[in-house]
Structure 1
């Protein structure tokens, strides 16, 4: 394993190009979790809907919320309906997986005095992770 990593490192330094390591199935032994952060009880975990509700409750009337594609935007829409609130401060990124953070950046650049909240998912972030470097600037 050390030789394979050494070879990969040398290639990366010399070629400045990607390098793939292929690992045979069952090469590694399974990892046993030492300490659980959450119990197995469902009530100990925060649901996506509860997280969205917490964000809505913490947001001011001037905050803009950008929701990622999929269930998050649907649940944001439904929560607004249940609370009899308008949708004029929400941007629901329907059908554009991975672009919520870039859309939120665009809004933030155009509305610098407003707080922009972007709620994105792990898969969506991975699709356009490079946008995070631009946002960090």
Structure 2
């Protein structure tokens, strides 16, 4: 029983540490953590997506622009928009999802006029199709 408890404790710690994936752009020193990475999200209504930016020392940094693009492989339901700055290094935007399935998430960050792309994120949507978003949704055009 002790071995099982130890295993479960280690398993939970690993799951918590890996729950939010972060990516660093080569030669940039910028790390992007997509706080919703791997989450299961309802297709009903809007959901807040959050990104945390840090430098190579783990300190929160700000950007000129943080843009999020969410879509499904082999589909054309782009959900996108410019994220709004919250606390230092924290950016958020409210977006819907059109249908259930696996969605990939790309985040672009512009700092000092340089644009960096981060593409190793994903989310899973569950729920009914939202026909009004099947051709996409662009938060900046609403």
The TM-score with structure 2 as length reference comes to 0.30
Structure with greater strand share of residues: 2
The TM-score with structure 1 as length reference comes to 0.31
